[in-house]
Amino acid sequence: MNIKNKTALVTGGASGLGAATVKRIVTAGGNSVILDIQEDKGQALASELGKAAVFCRTDVTREEDVTRAIAEAKEIYGEIHLCVNAAGSGWAERTITKNGPHSLANFEKVIRLNLLGTFNVASKAAFAMATNIPEKSGERGVIINVSSTAAFDGQIGQAAYAASKGALVGMTLPMARDLSSLGIRVVTIAPGLFDTPLLGILPQENVRALNESVPFPKRLGSPEEFALLVEHIILNSYLNGEVIRLDGALRMAPK
């Protein structure tokens, strides 16, 4: 699908991988709708990019928020063609600790944001895409969900996070099959270690150790490299129902 004059919903679009994706889509001639709860960052990014971007404060776990954001996006730009679900968060807690079992509330919170939030936006975006006028290829839309290498190599303390991201991997093919008759593709990216604000709070010695853990290239991935893959997935119409690891051949150790 050509990106020019197309409109993308980008969750978590105010920072990190989402912000890089927003910029990439605008650079390619498309429009980006930034769905995030970080109002200051989201508004600043939209202002920086001009008329091709708009911010909609959105909690992806709330149906009414997502419904409203999609309605606003359609009112401003017309059809919605693309959806990139980059909103998510991590959590570190062992299955049992000296204080007792893993907090069920914390487990549920991670699942609710990473899994239910992604499905909430993806399903509602797909419903909006279903009425698009198809391109000559028959395509009406592209949905890109963001998992993690933790889906395959979950570390100690990542039971909740790995479960939420593993579920996105499992959801990819059936969702692609569900939407195939409508010309909507579904692809999932599983990033490894990326230079995002989340890792920016770590001490430099920890960052150096993370760099060395990547086989090649020995560094953190850049958000721009993630956005470049997003662009390729959108442009390559034969990519569908697939999960792509983007990790420099990294396989995470137990801890």
CB 143 within 8 A of CB 186: yes
- Pair of tokens at residue 81: 């063609």
DSSP state string for 169-189: HHHHHHHHHHHGGGTEEEEEE
> How many whole angstroms separate alpha carbon 17 and alpha carbon 227?
7
H-type helices in 88-196, by residue range? 104-111, 117-129, 150-153, 159-179
Q: Which long-range contacts (CB under 8 A, 24 or more apart) does 112-116 make?
A: 112/61, 113/60, 113/61, 113/87, 113/88, 113/89, 113/164, 114/88, 114/89, 114/161, 114/164, 114/165, 114/168, 115/164, 115/167, 115/168, 116/61
107, 161, 194, 226: the active-site residue? 161
Nearest to 88 by CA among 178, 188, 157: 188
Q: Residue 77 catalytic?
A: no
CB 56 within 8 A of CB 10: no
Catalytic residues: 161
